[in-house]
């Protein structure tokens, strides 16, 4: 499972720049960018701050998604 997010979509709907959102939630712009690009996951505290700012539930921004990867198994693997 991977954590995906709709932060960029939500931010754009509110016509906010990354810098403006970063200031509003006490973060740096690069952190917002990294979360939107899913380079770094948001901490629980950050997720809660973002949800509070947008007045939505955390799961309106962040959600789990199945990863479609294949895993090679040995015949000896239980």
Q: 71 lies in a domain?
A: no
**What's the total number of domains in the chain?**
1
Domain of 13, in residue numbers = 2-65
CATH number of the domain within which 53 lies: 1.10.260.40
Encoded tokens for 62: 């962040």
Q: 54 lies in a domain?
A: yes
Q: Give the mean pLDDT of 11-23.
A: 98
Q: 30 lies in a domain?
A: yes
Structure confidence at residue 66 as a pLDDT band (50, 70, 90) = confident
Q: 6 lies in a domain?
A: yes
Q: 8 lies in a domain?
A: yes
pLDDT at 67 over 80: no
pTM, 2 dp: 0.81
């Amino acid at each position: 499972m991977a954590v995906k997010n709709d932060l960029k979509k939500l931010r754009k709907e509110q016509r906010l720049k990354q810098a403006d959102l970063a200031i509003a939630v006490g973060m740096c712009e690069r952190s917002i960018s990294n979360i939107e690009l899913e380079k770094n996951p948001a901490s629980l505290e950050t997720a809660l701050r973002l949800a509070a700012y947008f007045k939505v539930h955390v799961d309106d921004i962040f959600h789990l998604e199945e990863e479609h990867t294949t895993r090679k198994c040995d015949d000896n693997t239980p």
